[in-house]
Amino acid sequence: MTEQVVRDPGMQQERTTLAWRRTGLALLVGALTVGRLTLDRLGGAVVLPTVLVAALAAYVVLSTVRQRRLGVTGPADPRLTVLRDGRLVAAVAVVVVVLAVGELAAAVAALVDLV
């Protein structure tokens, strides 16, 4: 006899929300770490981009926390998803690009110091 697996349709959204929360936390830690490590090389020019990128990463985390609360307290509406309008994806893309540009600038500054 085979057992039928009963799937809970809300669990997929729960896993997606938790994955986005982990992504946001990792980006927040990464932004602060990269900002701290490049501060020695680039000086005060790193502070503003680090704060802005950390704020975007915090936005990702807070959006998923808000989404979780909506899912728990509100109706199960399929339109209320974490990726409903693409803002989280855009925020993650901006964070990654700014971190990459910051690291490239630090690498170029290190090369210039060696020459």
Quick: pLDDT tens for 61-90: 888 887 666 555 554 555 556 566 788 888
Percent of all residues in the chain with a pLDDT value above 90, rounded to a whole number? 8
79's tokens: 């339109």
Q: How many residues does the chain have?
A: 115
Percent of all residues in the chain with a pLDDT value above 70, rounded to a whole number? 76
d(CA 107, CA 85): 35
DSSP H or E run through 100: helix 87-114
Provide the pLDDT for residue 82: 57
Provide the pLDDT for residue 25: 92
The domain spans of the chain are 12-114
CA angle at residue 36 from 111 to 19, to 5 degrees? 110
